[in-house]
Structures are given as structure tokens and as C-alpha cells.
């Protein structure tokens, strides 16, 4: 089966850096992506790693280590608007996306 584990909740202060980890176990793996979801909204794509290493997109960076079946999302210079849930998702066989249970990020002033 498919399994992606991530912390359920993280709290940080405005301006800080936070890292959200994700470990995965999937049959067939083509890459790891990250999505943001605000309360009542739809998930929106943030970043994707197909290869090992770090991908940077503005204040957000994502990392993948295939050998460790591990990745993380790094959010820098946290802003209040970053308060949301963050999901890692593995791209598996037949172009299926499998999601973790999500990490709720609380940003405090």
C-alpha cells in the first residue's frame, strides 16, 4: 500500500523558519510534491522534487532524498498568511498522487 507520514501540527512565530518533514512508502515512486490548503479552500501546488536535492521557489524550498524515502518543505520568513495545512504527495505508478494526512501550520505574531 501507500503510506506518507508527516507531523499533524507545527507552530512557529512570524519571521521564523519552519521545516515540515515527510517520510513515504509507495509501490512505484516518481517524485514528491507539496501542496498548501487554507481552511475551506482547495489544495494548491507548491513544489515538486523528482530528483534528490533541494528545489527553491521564493520563500519555500523542498528537499528529497530517495535513498531515505524522505523529504521536507522549508518555509522561510514566515508570514501570517502561511497559516494553513501542508500536504506532501507522492507520484506513483499510473500517474496516481498519494497524499499524507497533512500538517497544520500555525503562525503566531
Partner 1 sequence: DAGITQSPRHKVTETGTPVTLRCHQTENHRYMYWYRQDPGHGLRLIHYSYGVKDTDKGEVSDGYSVSRSKTEDFLLTLESATSSQTSVYFCAISEGQRYEAFFGQGTRLTVV
Name the site residues for partner 1 (rule: CB under 8 A): 1-2, 4, 8, 30-31, 33, 41-45, 48, 50, 87, 89, 91, 94-102
- Measured from the CB of residue 13, what is the shortest distance to partner 1 in angstroms? 26
Q: How far is the CB of 15 from partner 1 (least distance, A)?
A: 28
Q: Least distance to partner 1 from the beta carbon of 95, Å?
A: 5
Nearest Cα to Cα of residue 5 among 105, 96, 90: 90
| 1/58 with CB nearer partner 1 | 1
Amino acid at each position: 500500500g501507500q503510506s506518507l507520514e508527516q507531523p499533524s501540527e507545527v507552530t512557529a512565530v512570524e519571521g521564523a523558519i519552519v521545516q515540515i518533514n515527510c517520510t513515504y512508502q509507495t509501490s512505484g515512486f516518481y517524485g514528491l510534491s507539496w501542496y498548501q490548503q487554507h481552511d475551506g479552500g482547495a489544495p494548491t501546488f507548491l513544489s515538486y522534487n523528482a530528483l534528490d536535492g533541494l528545489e527553491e521557489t521564493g520563500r519555500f524550498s523542498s528537499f528529497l532524498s530517495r535513498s531515505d524515502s524522505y523529504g521536507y518543505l522549508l518555509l522561510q520568513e514566515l508570514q501570517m498568511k502561511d497559516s494553513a495545512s501542508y500536504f506532501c504527495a507522492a507520484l506513483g505508478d499510473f500517474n496516481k498522487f498519494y497524499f499524507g494526512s497533512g500538517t497544520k501550520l500555525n503562525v503566531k505574531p
